[in-house]
Amino acid sequence: MPVAFHVWDGANGEVGLRRTISSWYFLLLESEPPVTLYLFPLFGIGLAVGLEYWAIRRVRKGARAMAQRI
C-alpha cells in the first residue's frame, strides 16, 4: 500500500495549503496470525507441567514405600 505524508515547514513559509509532500513509502500489512500459533505453545507448556507433576508424585510414592519397608 503506497503512503505519502504532507509536511508543513513554517520556516519555509508553508502554511495552509502550501506544503511539501514526502516521497512515497510502501507499507506492507500482514494478515493476522492464526490462533493455533498461540495455542500450541500453551498446550506444550501444560503437557510439560503435567508430566513433571506426574513424575514427582511417582518418585514421592516410591520414597514412601521404601520408608515403610525399613
| Dihedral over alpha carbons 61, 62, 67, 69 (to 10 degrees) | 120
**How many domains, in total, are found in the chain?**
2
Are residues 70 and 46 part of one domain?
Answer: yes
Are residues 37 and 65 part of one domain?
Answer: yes
Provide the domain limits for residue 57: 32-70
Give the model confidence (pLDDT) of 61-70 as tens digits.
888 877 787 6
Give the model confidence (pLDDT) of 21-49 as tens digits.
778 889 888 888 898 889 999 999 999 99
Distance, in Å, from the CA atom of 11 to the CA atom of 49, rounded to the nearest integer, reads 63
Are residues 52 and 21 part of one domain?
Answer: no
Rounded to two decimals, what is the model's pTM? 0.48
